[in-house]
């Protein structure tokens, strides 16, 4: 049995205009952009398991150096090494130890620094996203609607539901032409990538 549609017709031109206006308003909302930027930045924080593995490796290296220092001291005590050899070996171990300790300190500072999403990072990301969206909104609006909108449903009574998706945030950030350097190189040769 075939059903008959009882819904009233919809003016596509009016619907397109409303869709575009509301989509632009949605994409230009600074608070929404800030919320998405914070969410994205929090996902970009260094993974704790990778950080932990590197920290454990450095601590293992430091423990190995301490054990070698003890072996050298025992060898000196047993008379296998003379004093100059002990000093040379101790100097080498000390420089290795200092390098590992500096790397460990740097790693911990970097981890502590990246553990928090800083407001200046969020603001910088929001400003870059606004520039991209501004350039994007000036382009062909049909293409943008096709890329972002999955379905438009018109219900009885004139209610409209728009469903869609936003492409992954980090893939779109560098895609604007404002920063592109189109000049030739200093040696006046053009290198094609």
Rounded distance between C-alpha atoms, residue 157 and residue 137, angstroms:
31
pTM above 0.85, yes or no: no
Residue 164 three-state SS: strand
Q: Where are the domains of the chain?
A: 7-43+119-193, 46-116
For residues 4 and 179, which has the higher predicted lDDT (pLDDT)?
A: 4
pLDDT of residue 177: 41
pLDDT (tens digit per residue) in 107-134: 877 766 555 567 777 888 788 878 877 7
Q: Name the helix (H) or strand (E) containing 153.
A: strand 149-154
Which tens digit of pLDDT belongs to each residue from 128-174? Answer: 878 877 777 666 777 777 878 888 888 877 788 888 876 654 444 44
Residue located via tokens 């296998």: 80
């Amino acid at each position: 049995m075939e059903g008959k549609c009882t819904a009233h017709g919809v003016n596509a031109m009016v619907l397109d205009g409303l869709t575009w206006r509301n989509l632009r308003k949605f994409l230009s909302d600074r608070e929404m952009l800030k919320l998405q930027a914070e969410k994205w930045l929090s996902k970009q924080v260094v993974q704790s398991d990778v950080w932990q593995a590197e920290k454990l490796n450095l601590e293992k290296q430091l423990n190995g150096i301490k054990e070698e220092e003890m072996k050298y001291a025992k060898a000196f005590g047993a008379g296998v090494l003379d004093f100059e050899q002990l000093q040379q070996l101790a100097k080498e171990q000390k420089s290795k130890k200092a390098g590992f300790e500096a790397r460990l300190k740097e790693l911990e500072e970097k981890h502590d620094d990246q553990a928090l999403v800083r407001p200046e990072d969020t603001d910088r990301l929001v400003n870059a996203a606004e520039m991209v969206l501004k350039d994007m909104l000036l382009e062909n609006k049909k293409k943008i609607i096709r890329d972002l909108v999955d379905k438009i449903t018109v219900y009885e009574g004139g209610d409209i539901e728009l469903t869609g998706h936003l492409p992954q945030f980090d893939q779109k950030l560098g895609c604007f032409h404002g920063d592109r350097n189109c000049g030739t190189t200093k040696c006046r040769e053009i290198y094609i990538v």
